[in-house]
Chain A
């Protein structure tokens, strides 16, 4: 369905929580090993569906309305790097936590790459339309419990094995659901702040009160 390209080491280091640390040869070697392991374990998949607006089920809260302002269509996305990644992370956590944290970051890089490839794919499919950035349940006031609606709408459990639990955690964990607006006119530039970042709940920068600068 799709293949992953090289995983960005700097991005993995950023997810590890500290760009201040000077890179060492050993760390670079560890990153390379973990990149290989993630690429071998990943089974990247995505599903999407284009819907005409208005779509009342989708419009919950103020933020999504603002985000999709001026859009005529939306693209719903479900993406995952698969259950093999979770298993790899479980094994690493038993055997060697230091490796596990790097694998975890590298897996985050992998799912983000799937999403970026998807953005490019949509840009090719709809060359005449402008895209908003991807907006996910849990961003701003957009309710996390919409996860279930996204998954049902795209038949994600059956088609790509993506589910949630009762707390609306996506499982496999390295996965994304999102909506992207498509518009005939260029949407106003919006700052993509922490509230609309996939790492908003796990980000080490935020914990320190800092910002990644992305």
Chain B
């Protein structure tokens, strides 16, 4: 119908008609499909008589979560709803849609419903709607949830048209912070038939939103606004049918093809709408040129060099490898945040390490990064199964890094890029390795582009990487790379990517070579330099280039980045504090001085740089362990005692702990260098129990334990009891700390302890439990802790440290 009609007319509100009819229902309006089928059919008929070509079955809230307690199953409700709509539609040339609304729960990371659980809820609805002609997904405020629904529709009803609309505020963002542009980009990539907006506001207020969407998709647009805003007392909407129809008529020029009404609209609105559009022709919108990628909140238009941060990658990085092995996600999140602060616009994410499950880790890391970081991501793996899992889990439109000229790669990676609507980096190598000459690399690039286009991936979405080789090994290779890049850019018209840092291996003053090569490559047409953005001169080279090429209009970005720049003092400037460690302005002020060493003073005052400098000095004369036991721990104990006595604030306690952490880092490096004994005082699991997402308390405990020298395995929040048991077994754990903040989640705490106690391999020979369980959290009491079989009740973070000292006898 989309092809054959000038406009496709949807229906208006179902809820408004239900309300006006005065019919009573229990629990969910969807139960009316079974209790009052004729009434529901009559509503559909009224819309069809008014001119609707497509009616939405009364299934908006018919998912298992929302129907809980209604006495009906999803299948019963949906089958009845479609039957009712079909009954009305049979006398018209009209289609029936399954209407899928939000699950009613927030998805991770904001909420606790997982992407996969949301998918299952939607799949159940779609399975029940085999008789529907179309799947409609509407009123979505979370792009991630919309994606779960679209994937469920594509995979459970292959070939059926999918219409998706999201709900925006006047800001052009949803409650979840999703921008109109990112929604349009991501959903078009997922292969829907049409997309647009519904609900929240009247047509005029939604015009800017649909206009913004229109530049980022070439699909037909859907427009289903409310009849204005409701009066809070009478619930009457303030825009009448005539005005509504006239407004939509004016807005149709932005590419509207599928139109209808949401809350407050009735058959009269649809009739007027049809009248108003009778002599209007559909005008497809103009999409902007060039590739765009996005996260839910941020789009990056690749219309000049854009920095891809390369730091989330274990290759050659000891600390990163260790973080992956220890499941230390916070370490990775810090890498993400500091790169963005330094100027990265896109982050490459590579977590490949032989001894870990790359697929599982990739999904976990992507979700965690997207929970705190707005930059779009580049998914970096060679394994198709990792790429597919990541493409499902990613919220937005990513870059896949990478496909190459090998047949195996082309035939496995490109179909994934197509299915999930991503963009892709194409490496100019194949079965024979990296060709020596620019021309051979160009030929591979050409092949990759042709294969991509053959399955419907536009050329603009393929970014060719002509591969950087080490110039100290092969001096001519640099020229070949640049020449290849130039030809790809000019002859194939593709965007280009390049990992820059490889160029300088084996040379002194690598930064200088990298920066010069980067500038040369940009001049040849490099769009996506993959660099370490924390090196100021590299990021600076890109920013300066954008000014000199006229890309950064009026040098605005450049000025905002450097307006406070002061050149470093020549000759031995003090090392800058690492990003993110700047003082929050709240250094504690416990009485200091008397009899305390400089190191202890630094910790008491929460001063990181001073602390690490003092540690370095002490290491010249003392061994690491005696610094830990003689300096760090006593200083922390003193702050802890001050905290308990009400002399310092909680933030000050934490700042001291953070300062101690800097000192520990210095000591750990020394130990790694000299190979002396480990300073770990014991391994502890921390978790906020299943169902609970308040984890600030647990995180405070983590900071303190870290800095008392314990190795913390942080399993995060909303943690399944089984995972805690399995980790305890795998890591040979003696202490587990559990936190619960709500009375409703105390049950999960009890269940976790029960499982820990039941596991035979976690028992000593005499049958006693190997694992010491510490519990805490606002609602936990000493009595309750005893009742559920915990070993230690921990009132606060300091008490947890004390418990660990007892457990590990240190």
Contact = CB atoms under 8 A, between A and B. Distances in A.
Given A98-B586, A161-B175, A172 B779 contact: no
Contacts of B589: 24, 26
A169 interface: yes
B693 A98 contact: no
A203 interface: yes
Interface string A95-106: 111111110100
Given A16-B649, A33-B585, A168 B744 contact: yes
B176 A165 contact: no
Contact of A16 (B111, B651, B741): B651
Contacts of B112: 165-167, 169, 171
A201 B199 contact: no
Interface stretch (A59-67, A83-91, A177-185): A83-91
A101 B648 CA distance: 14
A90 B742 contact: no
**How big is chain B's contact interface, by range?**
35 or more
Interface residues of A, number: 56
A83 to B, nearest CB: 5
Interface in A82-141: 82-84, 86-87, 89-91, 93-102, 104, 138
Interface centre among A20, A138, A144, A202 (most CB of B within 10 A): A202
Contacts of B584: 30, 33, 96, 98-99
B646 interface: yes
A104 B106 CA distance: 20
A167 B745 contact: yes
B658 interface: yes
Contacts of B655: 98
A114 B708 CA distance: 40
Contacts of B199: 158
A159 B703 CA distance: 38
Interface in B567-603: 580-581, 584-589
Given A87-B372, A98-B654, A21 B648 contact: yes
B763 interface: no
A199 B110 CA distance: 21
Interface in A16-43: 16-18, 20-22, 24, 26-27, 29-30, 33, 43
Given A87-B110, A201-B741, A165 B646 contact: no
A207 interface: yes
Interface string A134-155: 0000100000100000000000
Contact of A86 (B110, B650, B691): B110
Contacts of B141: 161
A51 interface: no
B421 interface: no
A207 B646 CA distance: 14
A163 interface: yes
A94 B651 contact: no
A87 B694 contact: no
Given A17-B650, A29-B585, A90-B371, A101 B700 contact: yes
Contacts of A78: none
Contacts of A100: 696, 699
A72 interface: no
Contacts, number: 169
B652 interface: yes
Contact of B691 (A83, A90, A165): A165
A93 B699 contact: yes
A100 B79 CA distance: 49
A21 B643 CA distance: 9
B206 interface: no
Contacts of A21: 646-649
A163 B105 contact: yes
B161 interface: no
B176 A161 contact: yes
A94 B337 contact: yes
B337 A83 contact: no
Contact of A95 (B102, B371, B580, B648): B580
A96 B651 CA distance: 10
A167 B585 contact: no
B646 A27 contact: no
Interface string A190-202: 0000000000011
B177 interface: yes
B52 interface: no
B699 A97 contact: yes
Contacts of A94: 330, 333-334, 337, 372
Nearest to A48: B232
- The 5 A-B pairs with the shortest beta carbon distances in the complex, nearest first, are A161-B175, A30-B586, A20-B646, A167-B691, A98-B654
Interface of A: 13, 16-18, 20-22, 24, 26-27, 29-30, 33, 43, 82-84, 86-87, 89-91, 93-102, 104, 138, 144, 157-158, 160-161, 163-169, 171-173, 201-204, 206-208
18 contacts: A21-B649, A27-B649, A30-B585, A91-B373, A96-B581, A97-B700, A98-B584, A100-B696, A101-B651, A101-B700, A157-B104, A161-B141, A165-B113, A165-B691, A166-B112, A169-B742, A171-B106, A201-B743
